[in-house]
């Protein structure tokens, strides 16, 4: 069976079952798990599936958001590299808005121990907990309604809190980055908080792993021209990144992690 046929059948399987595992697919198609991983990565690039630990899940539509626990585990090593690159751009003494979501949480973890003496404003309870004991760091939680699972603060109270501050940098996580549609996310209330945060910062940094490139999700956040820096582990020549550069965005591509070897790739 050639790769095109095998990938078509994997797509049919994941759409029918909602989730597939590398090991089961390798047995069913009588190929190595490495081959299956390559097939799944190709399907992810097409927007058919999203890789998770041990397999992949179907992308059923623009308004389907994977569980937070799944997103934390998915591409965890890639997010760590991206988070480290974000933290490298943060200067001592900055006032920083730190978004909710799995990538922003990785950024909070990377900021720990750097002794940057930051003031961090965040709608993420999890990010706040990561940084609350950091020496000489002030953490301010927005008000708002606590969103289950995500543990993000949403609603008018969160947006109003953000409107009272002027900050140096906003670090934003997103679900989709597209050359035409710009940046987008799954959840409307979270997206409104992101827009409010963007309006209160001098610099907007978007941090996103390569699975977000070329994807359009339910709620529009901003045009590419409205962000300043995009940090990703994607291919520098991906159409979404080419469009971002054309829009004046400073695109930083960090070394990704090879899905088969677990080692860093060169960009």
Four-residue CA torsion sign, 198, 202, 207, 210? positive
Q: What is the mean pLDDT of the chain?
A: 87
User: What pLDDT score does 57 carry?
Assistant: 81
Longest alpha-carbon distance in the chain: 61
Could you tell me where in the chain the CATH 3.40.50.1360 domains are found? Answer: 72-253
CA distance 111 to 131: 8
Confidence of residue 258 (pLDDT cuts 50, 70, 90): very low
User: Which CATH topology does 72-253 take?
Assistant: Rossmann fold (3.40.50)
Collapsing DSSP to helix, strand or coil, 233 comes out as coil
Q: Which is more confidently placed, 183 or 65?
A: 183
**Helix intervals (H) in the chain:** 3-17, 22-29, 33-45, 68-73, 76-88, 102-111, 125-131, 156-163, 188-198, 239-246
Does the pLDDT of residue 73 top 80, yes or no? no
Confidence of residue 172 (pLDDT cuts 50, 70, 90): very high
Q: Specify the DSSP class assigned to residue 224.
A: G
User: What pLDDT score does 67 carry?
Assistant: 61
166 Cβ contact list (under 8 Å, min separation 6): 95, 200
Is the CB of residue 232 less than 8 Å from the CB of residue 257?
Answer: no
Confidence of residue 259 (pLDDT cuts 50, 70, 90): very low
Confidence of residue 23 (pLDDT cuts 50, 70, 90): very high
- Enumerate long-range contacts of 41-44, CB under 8 Å, 24 or more apart: 41/259, 42/3, 42/7, 43/7, 43/10, 43/11, 43/14, 44/211
CA distance 73 to 248: 32
User: What pLDDT score does 98 carry?
Assistant: 98
Does the pLDDT of residue 261 top 50, yes or no? no
- For 3-60, CATH number? 1.10.10.10
Got the DSSP string for 91-160?
PTT-EEEE--SHHHHHHHHHHTTS----EEEESBHHHHHHHTTSTT-EEEE--SEEETTTTEEESHHHHH
User: What pLDDT score does 64 carry?
Assistant: 55
For a pLDDT cut of 70, what percent of the chain falls above it? 88
User: What pLDDT score does 1 carry?
Assistant: 81
Could you tell me where in the chain the CATH 1.10.10.10 domains are found? Answer: 3-60
Does the pLDDT of residue 256 top 70, yes or no? no
pLDDT tens track for 30-70? 999 999 999 998 887 766 677 887 888 876 554 455 565 66
Do strands 250-253 and 55-58 pair parallel, antiparallel, or not at all (unpaired)? unpaired
């Amino acid at each position: 069976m050639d790769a095109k046929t095998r990938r078509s059948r994997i797509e049919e399987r994941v759409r029918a079952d909602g989730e597939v595992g590398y090991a089961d697919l390798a047995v069913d198609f009588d190929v190595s798990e490495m081959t299956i991983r390559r097939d799944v990565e190709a399907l992810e690039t097409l927007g058919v599936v999203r890789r998770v630990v041990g397999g992949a899940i179907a992308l059923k539509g623009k308004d389907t958001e994977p569980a937070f626990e799944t997103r934390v585990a998915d591409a965890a090593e890639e997010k760590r590299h991206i988070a480290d690159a974000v933290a490298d751009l943060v200067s001592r003494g900055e006032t920083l808005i730190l978004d909710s979501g799995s990538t922003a949480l990785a950024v909070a973890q990377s900021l720990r121990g750097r002794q940057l003496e930051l003031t961090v404003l965040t709608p993420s309870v999890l990010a706040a907990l990561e940084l609350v004991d950091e020496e000489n760091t002030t953490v301010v939680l927005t008000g708002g309604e606590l969103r289950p699972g995500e543990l993000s603060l949403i609603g008018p109270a969160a947006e109003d809190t953000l409107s009272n501050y002027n900050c140096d940098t906003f670090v934003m996580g997103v679900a989709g980055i597209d050359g035409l549609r710009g940046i987008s996310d799954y959840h409307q209330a979270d997206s409104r908080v992101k827009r409010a945060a963007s309006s209160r910062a001098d610099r907007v940094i978007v941090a996103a792993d390569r699975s977000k490139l070329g994807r359009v999700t339910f709620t529009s956040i901003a045009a590419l021209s409205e962000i300043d820096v995009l940090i990703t582990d994607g291919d520098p020549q991906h159409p979404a990144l080419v469009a971002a550069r054309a829009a004046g965005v400073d695109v930083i591509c960090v070394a990704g992690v090879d899905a088969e070897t677990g080692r860093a790739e060169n960009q």
